[in-house]
């Protein structure tokens, strides 16, 4: 009798505890929903948060604390007033004024992309530079060999910024070179992301710091502040050497770009090496990111912006965006580039989770007769992203977009080729994280020769891919379709 009564009271108490707990969870969820609505976020993202918080409150709260909190920093680039950034802004404003009034622009590569160039001049202070030469790399080994050479001959400074900086043979070789340069009086500054480079050991960093290098972690993650910092990562890849040579693209510092990555196989990526005036914008972005973390600048930043002799005649704009920007510059650039296409759009991306505007632009272009080809990885390092990406394929196929799955390893390149005169190479993926949450950077190259070279590699990648057939894709298992639909719902959140 006493045992039964005890069990009865225990069950009643547990019931009330459960009800109370659920009530508290829903109160928190309602508070977060109201807060999210008042922030006037992207409507798709807002609706996704509301649905998850209402239907799955416990999971919703966990996801929100990890991925939903917004960055409160202002757009630092606009606030900084040191002379070199002011010069970049003034140059951009002057170019914008010139391009608005000029009726005799002779270069057809500029004319074809005039609206896009104006957009980035106005919104991103991305000046158009013509004194540039470019080298393109499609795998890690040749890129690293050239990087080792360039680092080894640095005379004044080396600035390195990566999302993923992973210990191994590549990192050790770079450390050895940097230690040598430090002994010769070269200033070295490294900036790595707190999540992407979280496995980089304290020992590796200490060796460089003790030798005189500056080693900065972008938004480091420490429990219990972990929940507010897993989002808004610095996904950029930048190297600047003496202000004369710059690198950007999709390749990080990791041995998997040389040896492959386990089940994913070889990592196929694209990176560019620039010599010329476009390097100034890479340096400006690095210095702004450095200031974001340290709140300090060099007393004489002009040392990082030397005069550059003639290097070539390639037109380049460097665009950057982040959660603190007043507009999504890279997203806007992608949309305009796709919308302005006349004959072809070729896209390589590992993560394809487009918003409605990009999706509509791709379908409209394909339906209007533009050849749209999209190569995605056949294998991917995130199941949620893979399912989410594949939820868009049926729509694309029905709109006459040609979709391929890369099968010669893991496709990690982020490349867009429009017609025969525009190439975009950088760190930004075709997903919500790159468009809205991460700090990203891309190079827009207005040059037919470079476009032709990148298109040749695109054809090689296409031959290493399997084309997705509409009738076959429509018959895929219902389990896959369900997983795709659920993952698509979560895509704007994570």
Residue 224, classed as helix, strand or coil, is coil
312's tokens: 């070539």
Catalytic residue status for 235: yes
Q: Which residue has 């001959």 as its token pair?
A: 153
State the number of CA atoms in the 13 A half-sphere of 473 facing the CB.
19
Catalytic residue status for 326: no
447's tokens: 């040059």
Catalytic residue status for 419: yes
85's tokens: 């950034």
Q: What would the DSSP string read from start to end of 256-309?
A: HHHH--GGG-SEE--EEEEEETHHHHHHHHHHHHHHHHH----S-GGGGS----
Catalytic residue status for 193: no
299's tokens: 């007393």
Catalytic residue among 112, 235, 280, 437: 235
d(CA 385, CA 392): 11
Catalytic residue among 237, 256, 280, 314: 237
d(CA 450, CA 401): 24
Catalytic residue status for 237: yes
How far from 432 is each of 172, 236, 469, CA to CA, in Å? 34, 16, 26
| Angle (nearest 5°) at CA 402 between 396 and 403 | 80
Catalytic residue among 193, 332, 419, 431: 419
Nearest to 450 by CA among 132, 143, 106, 147: 132
Asked whether the bond before 224 is cis by omega within 30 degrees of 0, the reply is: yes
Catalytic residue among 271, 346, 412, 437: 412
Catalytic residue among 242, 289, 332, 447: 242
Catalytic residue status for 229: no
d(CA 267, CA 348): 13
Catalytic residue among 314, 414, 421, 437: 414
Going through 277-412 in order, the beta strands assigned E by DSSP cover: 315-321, 344-348, 371-377, 402-406, 410-411
d(CA 324, CA 253): 26
Active site residues: 235, 237, 242, 412, 414, 419
């Amino acid at each position: 009798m006493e045992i039964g009564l005890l069990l009865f009271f225990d069950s009643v108490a547990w019931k009330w505890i459960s009800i109370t707990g659920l009530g508290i969870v829903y109160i928190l969820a309602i508070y977060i929903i109201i807060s999210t609505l008042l922030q006037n976020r992207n409507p798709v993202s807002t609706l996704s948060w509301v649905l998850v918080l209402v239907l799955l409150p416990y999971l919703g709260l966990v996801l929100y604390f990890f991925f939903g909190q917004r960055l409160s920093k202002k757009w630092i680039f606009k606030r900084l007033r040191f002379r070199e950034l002011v010069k970049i802004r003034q140059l951009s404003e002057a170019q914008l004024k010139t391009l608005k009034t000029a009726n005799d622009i002779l270069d057809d590569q500029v004319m074809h992309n005039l609206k896009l160039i104006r957009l980035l001049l106005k919104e991103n202070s991305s000046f158009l530079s013509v004194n540039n030469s470019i080298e393109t790399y499609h795998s890690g080994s040749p890129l690293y060999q050239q990087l080792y050479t360039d680092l080894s001959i640095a005379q004044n400074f080396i600035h390195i910024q990566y999302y993923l900086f992973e210990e191994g043979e590549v990192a050790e070789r770079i450390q050895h070179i940097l230690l040598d340069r430090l002994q010769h009086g070269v200033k070295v500054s490294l900036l790595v992301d707190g999540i992407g480079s979280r496995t980089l050991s304290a020992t590796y960093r200490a060796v460089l710091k003790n030798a005189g290098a500056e080693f900065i972690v972008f938004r480091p993650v420490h429990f219990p502040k972990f929940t507010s910092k897993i989002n808004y990562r610095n996904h950029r890849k930048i190297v600047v050497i003496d202000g004369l040579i710059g690198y950007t693209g999709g390749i990080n510092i990791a041995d998997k770009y040389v040896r492959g990555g386990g089940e994913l196989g070889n990592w196929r990526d694209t990176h560019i090496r620039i010599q010329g005036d476009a390097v100034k914008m890479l340096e400006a972005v690095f210095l702004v990111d450095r200031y974001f973390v340290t709140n300090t600048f060099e007393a004489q930043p002009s040392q990082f912006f030397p005069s550059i002799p003639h290097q070539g005649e390639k037109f380049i704009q460097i665009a950057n965006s982040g959660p603190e920007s007043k507009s999504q510059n890279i997203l806007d650039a992608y949309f305009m580039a796709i919308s302005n296409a006349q004959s072809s759009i070729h896209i390589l991306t590992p993560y394809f989770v487009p918003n409605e505007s990009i999706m509509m632009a791709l379908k409209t272009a394909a339906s209007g007769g533009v050849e749209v080809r999209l190569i995605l990885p056949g294998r991917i390092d995130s199941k949620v992203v893979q399912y989410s990406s594949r939820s868009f394929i049926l729509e694309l196929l029905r709109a006459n977009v040609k979709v391929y799955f890369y099968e010669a390893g893991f496709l990690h390149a982020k490349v867009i080729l429009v017609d025969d005169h525009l190439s975009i190479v950088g760190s930004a993926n075709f997903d919500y994280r790159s468009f809205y949450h991460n700090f990203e950077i891309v190079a827009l190259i207005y040059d037919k020769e470079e476009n032709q070279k990148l298109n040749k590699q695109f054809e090689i990648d296409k031959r290493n891919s399997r084309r997705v057939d509409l009738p076959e894709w429509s018959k895929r298992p219902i389990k896959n379709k369900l997983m795709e639909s659920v993952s698509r719902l979560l895509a704007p959140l994570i």
